[in-house]
Structure 1
Amino acid sequence: MKPESSILNRSAMADPAIVKEICRSLKQMRLSKNLTQAELAEMAGLNRVTISRMEAGRAATLLTLVQILRALDKLDILDIFREESEISPLQLLKLQEKRRQRASLSKKKTVADREEKSEW
Structure 2
Amino acid sequence: MSVTRSALLGGWQLESFDVGARRPFGEQPRGLILYTADGWMSAQLAPGPGAEPGQPGIAYCGRYRLDEATAVLHHQVTLSTLPELLERPQLRNARIDGDVLTLSTDDAVLTWRRSR
TM-score by length of 2: 0.22
| Larger strand percent | 2
**Which of these two proteins has the greater Rg computed from alpha carbons?**
1
| Larger helix percent | 1
Highest RCO, 1 vs 2 (Cα 8 Å, sep ≥ 6): 2
TM-score by length of 1: 0.21
